[in-house]
Amino acid sequence: MKIPFKRADRNMQAFTLVEIMIVVLIISLLLAIAIPNFMNAREEARAKACVANLKQIDKATQQWAMDNKVSNNNYNTIGPPSLTATSGTTQIVGTSSYIRSTPKCQSGGTYSVAASLTVSPTCSIPTSYSSDTNYVFGGRYYHGL
C-alpha cells in the first residue's frame, strides 16, 4: 500500500537566502555604527582617568608644599618632590606618603611633577579628545580645578 504524499509538507516555512543576507547586512550596519562609539567611550574613560591621576598628583604636591612650608620662591632650591625614589628629592608616593600607590597611566604614558607650584603636572601621552572641561591637550588640566 502506497502512502499518499502530503502536499502540506512541501509548503514548510523557511528563510530564503535573500532574507538571511538582509539580516546579516542590518547586523553589520549596526556594528559599523557601534564599534567606533565604543572606541570613543574607551578613550574618553582613559582621558578621565588621566585627569583624576593628574589632580591627585597636583593635590599631593600642594599638600607636600604646605607641610614643608615651601612657596613658589623656594620650590626649586628645596627640590621638587618626585613620584619615584631619586636621591635628594622627597618622594610623594609610598605607603606613608601623600599618595599610597603610584598612579598608572591607562595609555602607557608617564606622569611627571611640575617644575613650579603654579604649573600643573603632566602626562607624556598627548590626547586628541576629551569632553571634560578640566582637561586640556597634552595631558594637562587647568590648575586648581
The answer to whether residue 5 is domain-embedded is no
Check residue 73 and give its pLDDT. Answer: 80
Q: b vs e for 69-100, b when ≥16 Cβ sit within 10 Å of the residue's Cβ?
A: ebeeeebeeeebbbbeeeeeebbbbeeeebbe
The answer to whether residue 102 is domain-embedded is yes
The answer to whether residue 8 is domain-embedded is no
Check residue 69 and give its pLDDT. Answer: 86
The answer to whether residue 9 is domain-embedded is no
Work out how many domains the chain is built from and give that number.
Answer: 1
Check residue 24 and give its pLDDT. Answer: 96
The answer to whether residue 39 is domain-embedded is yes
- Whether the pTM exceeds 0.75: the reply is no
- List, in sequence order, every residue forming a beta bridge with 136; answer none if it has no partner: 140
The answer to whether residue 6 is domain-embedded is no
Given a cut of 80, is residue 16 above it in pLDDT?
yes
The 10s digit of each residue's pLDDT in 74-84 is 777 777 788 87
Q: Compute the half-sphere exposure of residue 65: CA atoms within 13 Å on the CB side of its CA.
A: 22
* pLDDT band at 130; cut points 50, 70, 90: very low
| Lowest-pLDDT choice from 48-52, 72-76, 120-124 | 72-76
| Backbone angles phi and psi of 48, in degrees to 5 | -70, -35
Mean pLDDT of the region 124-138? 50
The answer to whether residue 10 is domain-embedded is no
Mean pLDDT of the region 27-40? 91
Residue-number span of the structural domain to which 130 is assigned: 16-141
Check residue 138 and give its pLDDT. Answer: 45
Given a cut of 80, is residue 125 above it in pLDDT?
no
The answer to whether residue 7 is domain-embedded is no
Give the residue, 128 or 3, on which the prediction is more confident.
3
DSSP character for 14? -
With 0-12 / 13-18 / 19 or more C-beta atoms within 10 angstroms meaning exposed / middle / buried, residue 128 is exposed
- Kindly calculate the radius of gyration of the chain based on its CA atoms and give it in whole angstroms: 29
Query: Per-residue DSSP letters for 54-98?
Result: HHHHHHHHHHHHHHTT--TTTHHHH---BSS--TTS-B-BSTTSS
